[in-house]
Amino acid sequence: MRRFLPILLLLSSSAWAQSGELQPLPAVPPPPPGMEAFDAAMEPQVTIVKSEKETREEYRIKGKLYMIKVTPAVGPAFYLVDRQGDGNFIEADIPHTPVKPPMWIIHSW
């Protein structure tokens, strides 16, 4: 209780020291911190290509293809991702990425 007494006194004295005049709130609240302006160049451009066997969604940023979502007519969808930016696409489990803990061999005999 003794620890809270100085804090309580400080809060009550600061509230009492105010002149009592209330000021109106601004009409438009400020934007939340960390919210940047919209940048259209950073939004991905999505091109959908449909065929009889599959539907491909190609994702590009600044004209560079970085990911393809392939939805076959039969079966689950899968993603092809260019991880290093060299044009080689590898399959990735983007929506169902499980946590993969490191598996080091500490001792074997």
The CATH number of the domain holding residue 60 is 2.20.130.30
Q: Which of the 8 DSSP states describes residue 5?
A: H
d(CA 55, CA 73): 8
Residue 47 scores a pLDDT above 70:
yes
User: Could you give the CA distance from residue 50 to residue 31 in angstroms, rounded to a whole number?
Assistant: 40
**Confidence tier at 70 by pLDDT (50, 70, 90):** very high
**Domain total for the chain?**
1
Whole-number pLDDT of residue 21: 72
**Is 86 inside a domain boundary?**
yes
| pLDDT category of residue 76 using cuts at 50, 70 and 90 | confident
Residue 34, in any domain of the structure: no
pLDDT at 37 over 70: no
- Whether 15 shows a pLDDT value over 60: the answer reads no
Mean pLDDT of 35-40: 64
* Mean pLDDT value of segment 58-80: 90
Model confidence at 63: pLDDT above 80: yes
Residue at 58 is within a domain = yes
In this structure, is residue 85 part of a structural domain? yes
Would you state the pLDDT for residue 85?
82
Range of the domain at 77: 42-92
Q: What is the pLDDT of residue 1?
A: 57
